[in-house]
A and B are shown apart, each in its own frame.
Chain A
Amino acid sequence: MNISFRINGTNKNVDIKPGELLYDVLKSIGISSVKKACETSSCGVCTVLLDGRPIASCSYLAAKAHGHEITTIEGVSREAEILGSLMNSEGAIQCGFCTPGFMLTVIAMKRELQNPDEQAIKNYLVSNLCRCSGYEGQLRAVKLYMEVPQ
């Protein structure tokens, strides 16, 4: 079947199989930043934004994305550069595998929440798992990022 959606601001038409997952379709059109780690909507690694909201692309049917706007880290380069630099300064980018999905979630959070406290930040980011960093370095970077003017 044919679907069309916007990816990082560009219209895209693709032929897909009806059961294909969004993750696989994004890979097939050359988006390398999206990684897969759990296949069960549990870890946040494959996060993309669907109309600005974080979703797990490993468990989302590509057909459902028809008519919607998908954003990956390539589509938020300004924010990614600021947040990525803050993360890197904190040493919070370790293996880096979870980082693009994590940063997308943080960027969505900043657009969505006004002055969240630490608990609200953790609630929003809870299903972005990280096995390397112990989370504290990420939190230090996120707190700094939330202070950056939009």
Chain B
Amino acid sequence: MKKAICSVLLLIAAGASGICQQGAEALVAESASFLAAFFKDMPDARVAVVRFENDSELTDLAMQKIYQMLVSRLEGEKNFRVLDLLLDFTGGRGEFNLDQPGTLDFLIEMKLIQNKSRTGLGLTVFSRLQDRVVAVKYFERPVSKGEMDLLNTRSYAFSGLGFSKLLEFESRMGLMDIQSISAEDGQEQYFFYYPDEIIIYSARETRLEKHFQFKLFWKRPVYPVLHPEGKLLLFRLDRDLVLTAGNNFSPTAQVLTYRDGQWQESRKIEFVPFRFVTLNQTPYLVGARYEEGRNFFKDRVYFQPFSPAASGGANALEKKTCPAMSLDFSSLDGQLQGVHVIDRSYSYRLFTSDFEEKKPLPEKKGASLAASGGEWLAVSDYSRNSDQLFFYDIRDGGLRQVYAGKVSGEIQFISAGSWLGTKGFWAGVRQQVDGLERLMVQFWGKSNE
């Protein structure tokens, strides 16, 4: 996919400027060829760029493009595996996720250097096993002023191939979360979580049809809130469908099991479950706890062993993070990858699966966020009145903004989900029309996937 995007980018750039990107493209092509040749006989080698410095008059935007072009070419190579660890490129330096260097076999350092009218790209390859530099290479090409201007423009991706709004409809106010799961007959069911009930819909073509609904009853202590917030989690455990519903007005989350054709309350959990993951072959519910009656989470995440045998008696493990306005866990194949947080200063923070905070991270402000598996992270803008959704590629542990979409209204929550088999994000958006409030539900997904 990255390769396709890159090609499209190059085509657009060529069309816009009227001249080919001979210089930059040639630099990238030569570097990629060199690396492909170097790793030719190392089929299982795991390779990543871990340092990229800019000593030219190209901007950070241009550097991101050059990096993307290179990684895109290397991803096409079958002889070795390249990992994209880029978090951001600011101040002339790339920031990379280096929390697990032990998983890499070769580390690449790159530097872009300007020499009068020519631009050079230097590569240094370091072998982790040999603990020494194993290759140094330098390529140089002329890069014209026009090409530099083109590289410096903000265009990372072709938006038509990115996340777009695939669905939009109005919901009643108070909606806190949406999750979906395939029913036994294979049909996707969509669970809408309100403070006092859950409504289950089925998709019929591009519409939702109400399938079932049930009331939720909360017992003392109940902390009345100005802003009800909550998270729903659905997963299958053995043959049961399990639903957990936590929120900021009850200190305990309800755990309901669908059995014998009805929802039965099976236990309570003292935090809001977000994910069902497996750690060391043990299934856990992972989540966080709201500050009662308020709109932010405490500075801990919890791991509760969860299985049909464990009836909730086992103590939850705690890991320290930071108080969070919004948080989500990225996981892939049931394994926890990281914890993404918007803290109480509305800044984005990232904790690794070992709960070490990733530092330094470039300053990013946000409001709500959600992670879709270990692939994409959606973050809403830190703004009022006009909102945006930013989509970051987090595969391999990187954090690279790829797409952005404007949203009319103000995003209240984001949840990872799927619509008719397409993965993406649900967003609850408040809009004001003729002085009246309404809540629109949107689904953002990649229409080409």
The yes or no verdict on A and B being binding partners is: no
